[in-house]
Amino acid sequence: MSSSVLFDEPGPKARRRILILNIIGIIAFVALMGWVLMVLNDFGQLAPAKWLPFTDSSTWQNYLLPGLMNTLKSAAIAVVTSLVFGMIFGMGRLAQNKLINGISSVVVEFFRAVPVLLMMIFFWIFLGRMGVVSPDDAPFVAVVVSLTLYNGSVVAELVRSGVHGLPKGQREAGTAIGLTRGQSLRIIEVPQALVAMMPALLSQFVVILKDSALGQIINYNELLFNAKLVGTANANVFQALVVAAVIFILINFALTSLAQTVQTRVARRRGNAAATEDDEDAAEAAPVGTTATIDADQGPGSGKQ
Amino acid sequence: MDAYLSLWETYGPQMLSTFWTNIQLTFWAAIASVTLGGFLALMRISPIPSLRWFGTAYVNIFRNTPLTIIMTFGVLVLFGVFQVQLASDFNLNFFRIAIIGLTIYHAAFFCEAIRSGVNTVPLGQAEAARAIGLSFLPAARHVILPQALRGAIAPMGNTLIALIKNSTVATAGSVAEISGTMKTMIEFRPDVGILVFLTVAAFFVIVVIPIGLLSTYLSKKLAVAR
């Protein structure tokens, strides 16, 4: 079915109009691209000398690949730690104990509301000054800790909304076979919620990877930081930033596509074809900016009749 | 306590004025990116393939690019290489470039938020509108869009919150905003480092949490019961 509810199957007249507008659109796009290329050429940015450094293996060996490795390293560790953090505080928010519940809520709400960059700057200077970690490691640790606190809080919300999205009978069944509330949460509800969370989780990994680039501001020598070095050394900042951006886009696009595939799988497995479309949007809306705030009514598994 | 109060004496005005910069960045970027995002959303749901393709390409490119790269691009390339001057005043120039950077990035997310709102409207609604004899525009105006906008409140609220927090990234675009002030404060007053962080964090909590509550409240209150 067409992706939009706004228009009907077009008749012959409408089809002709669409064709004409389509051609105008293509011409406008080509004109825009042509203008961009012209400006680039005027400023000498298309000169081969500006691009050739990126065909040189030493540029990749000395700058881009080590930078990419550092990006992936901080992101990969942050993915694991934020999953752990999210599980703990997500279950904390679901706990019946008022104290645990309260503490978890404050922690999660606080770290979701504070910009990641502020945390990075704070931990960077603070950890370095306090001598908790060596000054050389401080940027890396600050990046990982900040990404964990923020994204862990988002994961905690995912856990919560995932469990809330489960049919009520699941908990009742758990209670019926004599499990305590905590046991049924751990053994029955959270594992099921994890399946529903998968697409949103994958989208969150995109956020982690993107936010790791904030590390350049606190001198963590990740991909963007090193690309800037290349750009300064060869006087081709424009080209260096484009290359770095393309690398980020390719990785993130792959992750996003994977998330969508998983989304369709999960929806199909639940035999809930009607909810597929709505859910896809929830997953797409999830990686909004760096805030994937997912409310109970917006998370995966919602929109089920 | 005295140490903390003296911190306020020294840096209080600077904290407030730089945080005000964040609010201003957010305000202008929000208006611009909702507008641009709205156009992109229209493109993505239009029946015209080339516009749909352009909208999709825009969203996929800018949603997957780190905002830091876009900000760095603004300063080092737009200003540094292409010598784009948006104001004769040095600071105002960077302020405006930062707004453009925030707009380009968040327009992709506002586009998706609006589009997801349109997609919450079941197909049957459009069919029903046509069945009672409404043509495209009246159907859109009276039946589809009112429901679509209600469905878009929650994701748009989330995007706005992201925008507020991301205004700190303008520091990569040479804008004097709150994260730069915080850095200076912690460097010069490490004795109250944690309090400095908590104070600046509180600014954001105070602004972000009410917006989150409001958008959740509105999205629930205005939700179309299905």
The Cα A117–Cα B172 span in angstroms is 10
Q: Express as a percent the part of chain A with pLDDT over 70.
A: 86
CA distance B165 to A285: 17
Task: Give the pLDDT score at A303.
Answer: 34
Q: From the centroid of its chain, how far is CA A200?
A: 9
Mean pLDDT of A56-70: 88
Tokens of B28: 């202008």
CA distance A116 to A291: 10
In chain A, residues with a C-beta closer than 8 Å to the C-beta of B185 are none
Residues A196-216 have a mean pLDDT of: 90
CA distance B208 to A94: 23
Report how many helices (DSSP H) and strands (DSSP E) chain B contains, helices first: 9, 0
Question: Nearest Cα to A259, choosing from A194, A302, A202?
Answer: A202
- Does residue A117 surpass a pLDDT of 90? yes
Q: Interface pTM (ipTM) of the complex?
A: 0.90
Closest-CA residue of B relative to A274 is B122
Taking residue A261's Cβ as centre, other Cβ atoms within 10 Å add up to 12
* Chain B partners within 8 Å of A216 (Cβ): 68, 72, 172
Model confidence band, residue A275 (pLDDT cutoffs 50, 70, 90): very low
Query: Is residue B49's pLDDT more than 50?
Result: yes
Cβ contact, residue pair A5, B123, below 8 Å: yes
Does residue A12 belong to the interface with chain B, where contact is any CB pair within 8 Å? no
What gap in Å lies between CA B158 and CA B153, rounded to an integer?
A: 9
**Confidence class for position A5, pLDDT limits 50, 70, 90:** low
User: Given an 8 Å threshold on Cβ–Cβ distance, is B155 in contact with A126?
Assistant: no
Tell me phi and psi for residue A103, to 5 degrees: -60, -45
Do B186 and A295 count as a contact with CB atoms less than 8 A apart? no
- Local structure of residue A45 (DSSP, 8 states): T
Q: How confident is the model at residue A271 (pLDDT cuts 50, 70, 90)?
A: low
**DSSP for residue B174:** T
Residue A8 has pLDDT above 70, yes or no: no
Render the burial of B94-121: b for 16+ CB within 10 Å, e for the rest: bbbbbbbbbbbbbbbbbbbbbbbbbbbb
B105–chain A nearest CA distance, Å? 8
Token pair recorded at residue A275: 């909810």
**pLDDT tens digit string along B186-223?**
888 888 888 999 999 999 999 999 998 999 899 888 87
Give residue A178's pLDDT band: very low, low, confident or very high (50, 70, 90).
confident
The pLDDT-based confidence of A148 (bands split at 50, 70, 90) is very high
| Residue B139 DSSP class | I
Answer whether B132 touches A (CB < 8 Å): no
Q: What is the mean pLDDT of residues A145-166?
A: 92
pLDDT for B27 equals 96
How many CB atoms neighbour CB A57 within 10 A? 8
pLDDT, position A151 = 95
Distance from CA of A28 to the nearest CA of B (A): 10
- pTM equals 0.87
Is A31's Cβ below 8 Å from some Cβ in B? no
Question: The tokens of A40 are what?
Answer: 């680039």
Q: Is the pLDDT of residue B3 over 90?
A: no
